[in-house]
Amino acid sequence: MTVKFHTFDNFSALSEALSQQWLEVIQKTPEHDTASFALAGGSTPAPVYERLDQLLSGTTQHNLIKLVATDERWVADSDQQSNEGLFRRCLSASAKDKRWQLISLKNPSSTPEIATEAISARLNEQLPDAFSAVLLGMGTDGHIASLFPGAPTQHDELACLAAVHPQTRQSRMSLSLPRLLNTKRIWLVITGAEKRQVLDHAQAENLPVGDLLREAGCTIDVFWCP
Ligand code: 6PG
């Protein structure tokens, strides 16, 4: 596995570079193939999604784009905490042009534990085997998606698993590590010195992002700014 660092002076420059690369991946997808992407939530990546939305709105497209969250909080779409709600807000212009379809990690079940088998079946039915790219963030504890330190990274052979945020105790649904790793590209988007330090020590400290580094079958492109 290779890690390639892309360093930027600020997040605006990072967003521009990453969204341009993302658009290129979409445009190079063979006609009639489906481009599929897993998107991180949280507070970092929104400007990347907003810039991609602008770029997508300025182009014609010959294939369907399928999106899925790397993980979702078990809340209503209208809740500010919802990652899927975040994607719909950030990608609103291209949504109007029906440029993409969001495969939801949620259903009406009261807990993600109850929903895992149904959501895993939905993902297997509605997504191509391998993602075109997975965009991940990382917590300062080294978690990716909702795969937290010391917690399972897969449940049975399912594509997703229920998780609980260790601090907030918030219920989450996360893609499993094997499902996240089934991708042609990985973009890890982190900011600040602390996260850079965590990443540099991730494998030694047996963190979830260290599992990603160890097990990735493709280059991991790290997009970082101070
Ligand atoms: C989420 C994300 C999560 C996020 C990290 C970093 O649902 O919160 O998918 O994995 O990428 O927690 O979050 P920040 O970007 O807010 O630091």
What sections of the chain are H helices per DSSP? 11-27, 46-57, 83-90, 92-96, 112-126, 177-181, 192-200, 208-215
What pLDDT does residue 119 have?
98
- Which residues touch 204 (CB under 8 Å, ≥6 apart)? 210
> Running along the chain, 226 residues long, what does each successive block of 10 average in pLDDT?
95 98 96 95 97 91 90 96 97 91 98 98 98 98 98 96 97 98 98 97 92 97 98
Shortest-distance atom of ligand 1 to CA 190: 15
Does the global pTM surpass 0.95?
Answer: yes
- How many Å apart are CA 52 and CA 83, to the nearest integer? 17
Residue with CA closest to ligand 1 atom 2: 41
Domains of the chain plus CATH, in order, are 3-225 (3.40.50.1360)
- How many whole angstroms from 30 Cα to the centroid of ligand 1? 31
Nearest residue (CA) to ligand 1, atom 15? 44
- CA 145: distance to chain centroid? 7
3 state SS of 31: coil
Q: Which atom of ligand 1 is nearest to the CA of 69?
A: 9
